[in-house]
Amino acid sequence: MDTAPLIDPFARAISYLRVSVTDRCDFRCTYCMSEHMTFLPKADLLSLEELDRLCSAFVRMGVEKLRITGGEPLVRKGIMTFFEAMGRHLQTGALKELTLTTNGSQLRRYAADLAAVGVRRVNVSLDTLDPAKFAEVTRWGRLPQVLDGIAAAKEAGLRVKINAVALKGVNEDELFTLVDWCARDGHDLTFIEVMPMGEMGEEMRLDQFWSLKALRVRLEERFTLQDLSERSGGPARYVRLAETGQKIGFITPLSHNFCESCNRVRLTCTGQLYMCLGQEDMADLRAPLRASADDALTEQAIRAAISRKPKGHDFDYSRQHVKGQMSRHMSHTGG
């Protein structure tokens, strides 16, 4: 069993794996899914046992941070058995962090169980605090259910980070509302530029695009922003608001390329490994996984994939068309 660390062609150690456990979701956010989604056949999805085998192989090869995504990960039937399985790697110290990104709808049900297996923080996707706008953006979501889920996470001792997609004409007028709410409730806050993924159409993407450079200028009208050097292992760059002490993150795949320090890869719920979110190249890990009861073939396939990890992506909104647009939905790759 080869446990040498995963190093890509640009001498970056791969220590962060994002795993989509389902393409299904109980919301239909306008920038993520079409309203009438055709989901993958269940037979195409990796079983929870197969996800355990794959993730455990990555942990053996040096992955120290595991983020579980979807779709909505907490709608996957039996998902807590998978979290419990990953919790054993926290107990050995091989895994430093087990976390998830969620829409918050199921947190009231699962927050205490997640804390019990070693999850210490969660990212909750929440773009607006206006119930009517929330219903419009998510199509199927109910804001009170999500806010209750966030409250349950806090009660369970989980740290909550709010991820808000910056949407022109949707939540521009809520910038300070979101910042003030997070300051009051003790949540970190990260803003994300909308990404050219899925079949939403080029025109809609450009209509939705609110540059975080412009958002930051707005923030500076009220706050003193202090740039922080810290990185969380993800693509966010952080500032501290001098007046409140809170931390604000910016994820800018479009107006600022963040690839030079990329230490992560993404595994889909069907066993495809994407070495870069902004490239179509991927490696099929499901076939070698199912071809053998041991993990030798799988580990070879993982190493071969990492040897193809590109230096960066091609997303670009600088012209009046979306360059580098991806055909797959965000719910398939896992955010």
Query: Cβ-count burial of 280 within 10 angstroms (0-12 exposed, 13-18 middle, 19+ buried)?
Result: exposed
Number of domains present in the structure of the chain: 1
Is 31 flagged in the annotation as binding?
yes
Is 25 flagged in the annotation as binding?
yes
Could you give phi then psi for residue 2, rounded to 5 degrees? Answer: -90, 115
Is 101 flagged in the annotation as binding?
yes
Is 67 flagged in the annotation as binding?
yes
**Position 184 in a domain:** no
**Position 172 in a domain:** no
CB-based contacts of 251: which residues, under 8 Å, 6+ apart? 190, 191, 192, 193, 212, 234, 235, 236, 258
Q: What is the pLDDT of residues 147-172, one digit of tens each?
A: 999 999 999 999 999 999 999 999 99
CATH of the domain at 91: 3.20.20.70
**Position 226 in a domain:** no
How far is residue 307 CA from its own chain's centroid? 23
Is residue 209's pLDDT more than 50?
yes
**Rounded to whole angstroms, how far apart are CA atoms 57 and 40?**
25
**Structural domain of residue 271, as residue ranges?**
16-161+258-333
Is 55 flagged in the annotation as binding?
no
Q: Please tell me which residue, 193 or 122, carries the higher pLDDT value.
A: 122
**Position 229 in a domain:** no
**Position 33 in a domain:** yes
**Rounded to whole angstroms, how far apart are CA atoms 203 and 214?**
20
**Position 134 in a domain:** yes
Q: What is the pLDDT of residues 276-297, one digit of tens each?
A: 877 778 999 999 999 999 999 9
Is 71 flagged in the annotation as binding?
yes
Is 262 flagged in the annotation as binding?
yes
**Position 191 in a domain:** no
Is 32 flagged in the annotation as binding?
yes
Q: What is the mean pLDDT of residues 57-77?
A: 96
**Position 51 in a domain:** yes
Dump the DSSP string for 217-245: HHHTTT--EEE-----SSS-EEEEETTT-
